[in-house]
A and B are shown apart, each in its own frame.
Chain A
Amino acid sequence: MRELPSLGRKTLGGVVVLALVGGVLSGFVDKNALSSTLRLSVPIAFAALGGIFAEKSGVINIGLEGHLIISAFVGIYATNLTGNVWIGFAAGVLASTLFAVVFAIVCLEFRADQIIAGLAVWLVALGLAPFLSTVIYESVNAGSAGFDPITIPGLSEIPVLGALFDAKPPVYLMLLAVVGSWYVLNYTAFGRWVHASGENPQALDTAGVSVKRVRYASVLLSGVLAGIGGASLSLSLGEFSGNGQTMVDGRGFIAIVVYLLGNYNPIGTFLSTTLFAGLQTAQIQLQSGYLPSSLVQTIPYITVIIVLAGVGRTRTPDAAGDHYESGEE
């Protein structure tokens, strides 16, 4: 396994420890807890995978939250329109991808600052989803049909781990996407170009590969993946809620922390995702306990801050955030 992509040893250690803590907190011994952790992982994991592609290619997509919001709403709307959950799902992904197209054009053609453009994507989605919901449903909240669970007979009976075989489709998709992203990034030419585009775009350019194309592809991919996450979030529940920060509630930002913690490695990122999802599971259980729910709900956010402060210097792609124009020196 000499070619196994290096996951910073320290980071890996940190993730394992934190995942264990999260696991203990959420009570992994319980099949329900595991299945809840997996379910809560879905939107974060997809957004984070998308973020990895974009940022590794050199474009920081801080608007992942916006992609989640818009796809969550459009998923519900299109499901109601067509009566088919999968078509609704596809429409949600498409909406998020369209946002990514706009973001990519603005960043790659018009040299917009990536952070501000990303914030704009978030703010537009944050306004647009509740707006459309009100236009269509006369309420910021909307419901539709949702995904039905797929239970694999026999395997789902396994204690605890049976949760892996008794879940809604997005959970299976997530596991596929994690492995798939890992493969693409480490074993395909495209993955290597993404890496080079973020580390030294000139090297890629002079090697005859268009940096712009690689970045377009990566940003669009981040839109697709985050879109899957958002549509999964709403369609697993069969509802969209658009109050305040909407039902997405910061998951897009948590996703960014998650992939930084996972050192841009899809596997590591998935592990740190389960940490946060585990915390949320634990939080749901704690809420029935002594702590007031409003305080318990701050736990994931405070964890993000602590983790970020603990990880501190993360090794980010050298050229991330910089505009690159071929032929410039």
Chain B
Amino acid sequence: MTPAISLDGITKRFPGVLANDDVDLTVERGTVHALLGENGAGKTTLMNVLYGLYEPTSGRIVVDGTERSFEKPQDAIDAGIGMIHQHFMLVDSMTVAENVTLGTEPRKWGGLAIDRDQARQDVVDLCERFGLAVDPETRISELSVGVQQRTEILKTLYRGTDVLILDEPTAVLTPQEIEELLSVFELLTDQGKTIIFITHKLGEAMQAADEITVLRDGRNVGTVDAEATTREELAELMVGREVLLEVETSSYDPGAVTLSVDDLTVTNEQGIDVVSDVSFTVRRGEVFGIAGVDGNGQSELIEAITGLRRPQAGVIELGDREITDDDRRERIDQGMAHIPADRHERGVVMDFDLVENGLLGSQHAEAFVNNGRIDWKRTREHTETIIEEYDVQPPNPDASASALSGGNQQKFIVGRELARDPQLVVATHPTRGVDIGSTEFIHERLLELRAAGVGVLLVSSKLEEVRGISDRLGVMYEGEFVDTVDPEAVTEEELGLLMAGEQPAQEVSADERE
């Protein structure tokens, strides 16, 4: 049987980056094929080439036995290829039916008007055929992420897609939604559709796929049968060396409370409570981790603690001082360092050079400013120290932040924030996009601070990270703390259930440790 997709020697070169290096890939009709690899391995680039978003530098694309060249996504769509991106391509203010039919609306009155009834009927029919439950009349903004994703799938099916590409489809889903998605995969392949999905999670690839292709550094390092492979084999293919994730932690000896959050409630822009009645404390000399699926109120909670968002109710104390009404600057002055989740938006000013970025947050600090006049010489020295200590590449203080890779921006931010001599570090995804060596270095620095009696509040979507270096772990679900657990005692399964909002079993509670 002719394979549904056959990529032959695809190379994609960007200025300074070889994203795909002579990649071959064969996907059989009616199967689920996982594209597995670490961040930056070239998975998305490869799929963007297949979808016509990028033109390959060299190589051939063969669809259903016919060689094709795609200049734009529309060409790929015409060839029966559909792609669902990580960020959904949906118009929030339009309904499911409107989104599904966008661009190919059924018309009436000689094309002068959209036939809304027909559009709705089309979507209903499509849902029935593939066993998907979506209400065509609901606005996207009122749907859960899982249903939005299903709408995206409907959208591609409506356009007659045979090959469905999904980019990290599970990143934003709860475990239950992931289950549902995987059963949708089955329904679709039963009807003869072919699915390629991008993931960096081993377990998922093994569970859902028939075949798994592993990419590393832009190269295909092996295609394996999902039934026949093992986790160990896949992990080695992905990383290329033995993975060591155990972090040495010194003895746990917490001191006085440095951050206390009491009954905190935070609302979002729409006035909906996204954090409800959350209470916890962080002590000196401990790492308090917060785990949870992204979007369960973690970012709003952190924004409220760091002074970037005003809470609706509750009390926040830093050391002995109530800081609920303090603004951001006062919190910085009180010794709160913050590694923000969104480094492009907050952590660095992209068009400032590193010297100017080194001053961010310290522009009132006596160390760098005399009577409102900035001491650029001292700021430069400070910046050079950060660059050296954290191995920021390129080591040029005059380079603008936008010229640095994401990982290097992150290292710079971590360096600047930890140099504040803080009593509390609020770290959100501190190692996102950072290579393994630097990840280890950042973890070590956080643990050094812990040993020196600094409190660390850590939020990360990487379970290994929060489990690995936290002393206590709070699990958030829909804006509430489901439980606080001992990260060493809790199993991955128990954590998964907690993250999905299941009420805790009593024995894993970490409170006894205090």
Query: Chain A interface (Cβ within 8 Å of chain B)?
Result: 3, 187-189, 192-193, 195-196, 199-200, 202-209, 318, 326-327, 329
Q: Is the CB of B104 within 8 A of A203?
A: no
A-B Cβ contacts below 8 A, count: 65
Given contacts A208-B77, A209-B103, 18 further A-B contacts (CB under 8 A): A188-B112, A188-B113, A189-B111, A189-B114, A192-B98, A192-B102, A193-B103, A195-B91, A195-B94, A196-B94, A199-B92, A199-B93, A200-B90, A200-B92, A202-B89, A203-B90, A203-B102, A204-B91
30 A–B contact pairs at CB < 8 A? A3-B116, A188-B113, A189-B107, A189-B111, A192-B98, A192-B102, A192-B105, A192-B114, A193-B103, A195-B91, A195-B94, A196-B102, A199-B92, A199-B94, A200-B89, A200-B90, A200-B92, A202-B89, A203-B102, A204-B102, A207-B89, A207-B102, A207-B103, A207-B104, A208-B103, A209-B102, A318-B92, A327-B53, A327-B72, A329-B53
Which of B83, B87, B93, B104 is within 8 Å of A208, CB to CB?
B104
B155 close to A (CB within 8 Å): yes
Closest 3 CB pairs of A and B: A207-B103, A203-B89, A209-B103
In the complex formed, the residue of A with least CB distance to B156 is: A206
Chain B residues, CB < 8 A from A329: 53
CB distance from A1 to the nearest CB of B (A): 13
CB distance from A318 to the nearest CB of B (A): 8
B73 close to A (CB within 8 Å): yes
Q: Is the CB of B94 within 8 A of A204?
A: no
Chain B residues, CB < 8 A from A327: 53-54, 72
In the complex formed, the residue of B with least CB distance to A327 is: B53
B174 close to A (CB within 8 Å): no
In the complex formed, the residue of B with least CB distance to A200 is: B91
Chain B residues, CB < 8 A from A193: 102-103
In the complex formed, the residue of B with least CB distance to A183 is: B113
Q: Is the CB of B91 within 8 A of A203?
A: yes
Q: Is the CB of A208 within 8 A of B73?
A: yes
CB distance from A182 to the nearest CB of B (A): 13
In the complex formed, the residue of B with least CB distance to A206 is: B89
Residue from A189, A203, A205 with most neighbouring chain B CB atoms (10 Å): A203
B99 close to A (CB within 8 Å): yes
Given contacts A187-B113, A208-B104, A209-B103, contact A195 B93 (CB under 8 A): yes
In the complex formed, the residue of A with least CB distance to B103 is: A207
CB distance from B191 to the nearest CB of A (A): 22
Chain A residues, CB < 8 A from B103: 193, 204, 207-209
CA distance A193 to B101 in the complex (A): 11
What size tier do the contact residues of chain B reach?
A: 20 to 34
Q: Is the CB of A203 within 8 A of B99?
A: yes
CA distance A15 to B105 in the complex (A): 33
B396 close to A (CB within 8 Å): no
CB distance from B44 to the nearest CB of A (A): 9
In the complex formed, the residue of A with least CB distance to B102 is: A207
CB distance from B434 to the nearest CB of A (A): 21
CA distance A200 to B94 in the complex (A): 11
B74 close to A (CB within 8 Å): yes
CA distance A188 to B54 in the complex (A): 32
CA distance A192 to B74 in the complex (A): 19
Which of B54, B91, B112 is within 8 Å of A196, CB to CB?
B91
Residue from B103, B112, B159 with most neighbouring chain A CB atoms (10 Å): B103
CA distance A44 to B107 in the complex (A): 33
Chain B residues, CB < 8 A from A203: 89-91, 99, 102
Q: Is the CB of A326 within 8 A of B72?
A: yes
CB distance from B108 to the nearest CB of A (A): 10
Which of A188, A199, A206, A208 is within 8 Å of B114, CB to CB?
A188
Chain A residues, CB < 8 A from B155: 207
Residue from B53, B54, B89, B107 with most neighbouring chain A CB atoms (10 Å): B89
Q: Is the CB of A189 within 8 A of B105?
A: yes
CB distance from B51 to the nearest CB of A (A): 9
CA distance A196 to B90 in the complex (A): 9
CB distance from A46 to the nearest CB of B (A): 23
In the complex formed, the residue of B with least CB distance to A202 is: B89
Residue from B92, B98, B114, B159 with most neighbouring chain A CB atoms (10 Å): B114
In the complex formed, the residue of B with least CB distance to A2 is: B137
CB distance from A38 to the nearest CB of B (A): 28
CA distance A192 to B103 in the complex (A): 9
In the complex formed, the residue of B with least CB distance to A313 is: B269
Chain B window 204-228, contacts with chain A (Cβ cutoff 8 Å), 1 for yes, 0 for no:
0000000000000000000000000
Q: Is the CB of A206 within 8 A of B73?
A: yes
CB distance from B52 to the nearest CB of A (A): 9
CB distance from B45 to the nearest CB of A (A): 11
CA distance A318 to B94 in the complex (A): 13
Chain B residues, CB < 8 A from A187: 113-114
CA distance A205 to B72 in the complex (A): 10
Residue from B77, B99, B102 with most neighbouring chain A CB atoms (10 Å): B102
